[in-house]
Amino acid sequence: MKVRINKLDVVFSQLVRSRVNFTCEKCGKYFPEDSRGGLHCSHFFGRSRHSVRWAPSNAAAHCHGCHTYLGANPIEFTEWIKAHLGQQRYDLLRVEANTPKRWKTHEKEELYQEMKAELERMESIHLGGYAGRIEFELMREVASRLAPERDVPGQKFWATTWGTR
């Protein structure tokens, strides 16, 4: 069953692709403004996993070729994810992906507003000439209210999964 794309998915995809200045995170191909449709927001754990659907650490920007290749080779995709995130963050993300989450309408609207503000911030940085990776944080404070914190040795789950690297 195909998961419907909503306004949160659209702005989240823009954030993930803008984070790396429209460059594929696997092969390094840059997508100029007139061809950005070829760069995808690739979720590690699918969008049907609502607990991590919009978690910054659950997605990367991949060109169509890399996205297709990694999707067809799940073992290699998992290894790429582990190398990209590190084993500890991958393990935390996997646990959270397997934790059911039902978003309330007001929670989604808060998250959407936060995403839009983050996208504006990132776009202004890029317009200022910065071409490197710009990490984004989503709802660190809200996330801690929406889901139970999990104690992880030396850190809290949300600071690791939803925060910057």
Hey, is 2 helix, strand or coil? Answer: coil
**Closest listed residue to residue 64, CA positions, set 29, 32, 33:** 29
The domain total for the chain is 1
Q: What pTM did the predictor assign?
A: 0.82
**Closest listed residue to residue 64, CA positions, set 41, 83, 88, 92:** 41
Which residues, in sequence order, are bridge partners of residue 151? 156
Q: How do 59-63 and 39-43 pair as beta strands?
A: antiparallel
Query: Up-side HSE of residue 125: CA atoms within 13 Å toward CB?
Result: 18
Task: Give the pLDDT confidence of 19-47 residue by residue, as tens digits.
Answer: 999 999 999 999 998 888 899 999 999 99
In a domain, 129, yes or no: yes
Q: How confident is the model at residue 137 (pLDDT cuts 50, 70, 90)?
A: confident
What is the model's pLDDT at position 161? 44
The answer, yes or no, to whether residue 149 has pLDDT greater than 50, is: no
Cβ–Cβ under 8 Å, residues 17 and 9: no
C-alpha span between 60 and 1 (Å, rounded): 22
What is the model's pLDDT at position 138? 79
Cβ–Cβ under 8 Å, residues 55 and 162: yes
In a domain, 69, yes or no: yes
The answer, yes or no, to whether residue 142 has pLDDT greater than 60, is: no
In a domain, 2, yes or no: no
List Cα–Cα distances, 105 to 2, 8, 82, 110, in angstroms.
21, 12, 32, 9
Residue 117: give the domain boundaries.
Answer: 7-161
